A and B are shown apart, each in its own frame.
Chain A
Amino acid sequence: MSISVNNISKHFGAFTALDNISLDIPEGELVALLGPSGCGKTTLLRIIAGLEQADQGDVFLKGDKVTDQPVKNRQIGFVFQHYALFRHMTVFENVAFGLRVKPRRERLGEAIIRKKVHDLLSLVQLDWLHDRYPDQLSGGQRQRIALARALAVEPSVLLLDEPFGALDASVRKDLRQWLRNLHHDLNVTSIFVTHDQEEAMEVASQVVVLNHGRIEQQGAPGDIYDHPANAFVSRFIGQTNVFDLDEHDADWLQTVGLSMAQQKGKIAHVRPHDIVIEKSTHHSDAYVTLKDWQHLGSLIRIELVKSGVNGQAASVYAEMSNDQFRRLHLNRGDKVDLRIRHAHWFH
């Protein structure tokens, strides 16, 4: 295991940030710590880095217990949310900082340092900015310089706190891809913190979902999406329709294809793409009314309205490709038949 966290707890006054967390991260993974604001993900990252002290529990890096080691001895690279570039230093000096503060006997020669810094700047494709100051750079450039600076000390693990949080949407998209490729080339065990599930799914090889200071689920993005461990994960990762047996007619659900034999709880979560619709040809009991639809690029999201148990209207969302939708020849107000292909049951 490259990074291990054992029974970590952390309180801020009465607030529990981390509640007895244990986590193992194998060598070479790119892991996302995913969760809503205040779930403790940044605190966990800072405890692994040694920027914050846990109330209890241990941190192991490459098998060594580092719980009592200060951050500077942990051989980690940390990229801060707002980059924390040194404002009074040029880009070059920023990246060279970690090499120049080493004790004299470990320090590299000036020529080697220069070469190394320029190599790193080339790696992040910003060598042409080497004599600029941080205030003269764009957000995306600062982010990449911060990464180059963290990589300069050849860290055994790389920790990134909301690496794309402060960037424009378009820059963010580009950088995600870039970070994935960079990780692929360098193969440094990396953890990044994010509250954006789409970002976690797109970039990470492993996703750890946190909520209220606890780990809800850990696994590959596909596993987590297809087999959410609980209702929180199911709701947090991707879109989902929620059918509560207290509010929905069990008979109706059975008619539309939900097998009550699989039932393990009384709440069913259904992904929009697991809902199939077609134009109603006869008066089946399964019909719903098509209210509206929105274009989401290659997909269409369809809003369907069904009258509930006590006459209350409930919205159900379905998704399908543009082509499929066009072939159905549907209009607003049409009655459609609905079928549920698959559901996750939770208590």
Chain B
Amino acid sequence: MPQSNIMPGFRPAISFTLVYLALIVLIPLSAMLLKTFQLSLDEYWAILTNARVQASFRVSFGAALIAAVIAGVFGFIIAWSLVRYNFPGKRLFDALIDLPFALPTAVAGIVLATIYEPRGWIGKLVMDSTGIQIAYKPLGITFALIFIGLPFVVRTVEPVLQEFDTAMEEAAASLGATRLQAFVKVILPNILPATITGVALAFARGVGEYGSVIFIAGNMPYISEIVPLLIITKLEQYDYAGATAIGLTMLILSFLLLLLINGLQWWVRRRSGQL
């Protein structure tokens, strides 16, 4: 049902789109599903409940969650400063926010490892002053994932903050609210949904992140081994079934996450009567 019957090219465009989608994305992904179906439920369960696998899920999801929340706070502060304040070089810094999107993950990985390793610039500083080692520990994974997650939060919060009706803040002040009350009761509730969406996006990306993490992680089984690395390890041991079962589980979890994000956005819009 084309919306305009004079517009040409629907059939070839949609045909190519669907064929290409099937060849590159759908058929390969379904291979993973079928491979998992070759396992019995018990076998699948055995793979997932293996202590090392469970540890890796804890590391990946734990580090990604903590990193996403920290990136949420940092990202909010950055977005706020970029939208509300003026300072020299603002546009340059604004453009730089996208660096983690554009910088290949392997480059980010070796750079972060170099900076935060015990002999690195910051790694040494932190090590000497607090005795805390960042790289080759779960903490290192968190640092890498903050780097990866930052632009997700800034780029979701920034436009919402820009379009926020500042008259609402003035209204709050005219009704006797302090600046803090205006922030907590008026600004935050309107910006929070976007912030949470950004955090969820950063989290989803962080769970699957590989390149920027493995150099700084240390990759110790049970301690700092992430799920994607475990999948590769299984593959290298020709344990295709194990790799697939873990991969599919991760895929399903990311899907649920995506669904949750969409649901959240829908709920927020409905709550404020926009639907």
Please give the residue numbers on chain A whose beta carbons come within 8 Å of chain B beta carbons, in ascending order.
49, 51, 70-72, 76-78, 80-82, 84-88, 97-98, 101-102, 132-136, 149-150, 152-153
- Please tell me which stretch of B87-95, B183-191, B204-212 contacts chain A, meaning at least 4 of its Cβ atoms lie within 8 angstroms of it: B183-191
Q: Find chain A residues with CB under 8 A from B173 CB.
A: 51, 70-72
Q: For B168, give its contact among A51, A86, A133 (CB under 8 Å).
A: A86
Q: Find chain B residues with CB under 8 A from A150 CB.
A: 174-175
B174 lies within 8 A of A72 (CB): yes
Question: B13 on the interface (CB 8 Å rule)?
Answer: no
Q: Find chain A residues with CB under 8 A from B170 CB.
A: 51, 71, 78, 80, 84
Q: Find chain A residues with CB under 8 A from B189 CB.
A: 88
Interface size class, chain B: 20 to 34
B273 lies within 8 A of A135 (CB): yes
Bound CA–CA A85/B274 (angstroms)? 14
B271 lies within 8 A of A80 (CB): no
Please give the residue numbers on chain B whose beta carbons come within 8 Å of chain A beta carbons, in ascending order.
165, 167-168, 170-178, 181, 185-186, 189-190, 271-274
Q: Give the nearest-CB partner of A78 in chain B.
A: B174
Please list 27 pairs of residues, one from A and one from B, whose beta carbons are closer than 8 Å in the complex, sorted by A's number. A51-B174, A70-B173, A72-B173, A72-B175, A78-B171, A80-B167, A82-B167, A84-B168, A84-B171, A86-B168, A86-B172, A88-B190, A88-B271, A88-B272, A97-B175, A97-B185, A98-B175, A98-B177, A101-B172, A102-B176, A132-B273, A134-B273, A135-B272, A135-B274, A136-B273, A150-B175, A153-B175
Residue of A77, A135, A152 with highest tally of chain B CB at under 10 A: A135
Q: Give the nearest-CB partner of A100 in chain B.
A: B185
Q: Find chain A residues with CB under 8 A from B272 CB.
A: 87-88, 133, 135
Residue of B174, B190, B272 with highest tally of chain A CB at under 10 A: B174
Bound CA–CA A70/B176 (angstroms)? 10
Bound CA–CA A153/B172 (angstroms)? 12
Bound CA–CA A301/B190 (angstroms)? 52
Q: A86-B186, A135-B272, A136-B273 are in contact. Are A101 and B175 (CB under 8 A)?
A: yes
B165 lies within 8 A of A84 (CB): yes
Q: Give the nearest-CB partner of A159 in chain B.
A: B174
Bound CA–CA A35/B175 (angstroms)? 27
Q: Give the nearest-CB partner of A93 in chain B.
A: B185
A97 lies within 8 A of B177 (CB): yes
Bound CA–CA A87/B274 (angstroms)? 9
Residue of A70, A82, A97, A152 with highest tally of chain B CB at under 10 A: A97
Q: Find chain A residues with CB under 8 A from B190 CB.
A: 87-88
Q: Find chain B residues with CB under 8 A from A51 CB.
A: 170, 173-174
Q: Which are the 7 A-B pairs with shortest beta-carbon distances?
A: A133-B273, A98-B175, A84-B167, A78-B174, A135-B273, A84-B171, A136-B273
Residue of B168, B171, B172, B178 with highest tally of chain A CB at under 10 A: B171
Q: Give the nearest-CB partner of B189 in chain A.
A: A88
A7 shortest CB reach to chain B, Å? 24
Q: Find chain A residues with CB under 8 A from B274 CB.
A: 135
Q: Find chain B residues with CB under 8 A from A84 CB.
A: 165, 167-168, 170-171
A119 shortest CB reach to chain B, Å? 17
A82 lies within 8 A of B165 (CB): yes
Q: A72-B178, A88-B190 are in contact. Are A97 and B273 (CB under 8 A)?
A: no
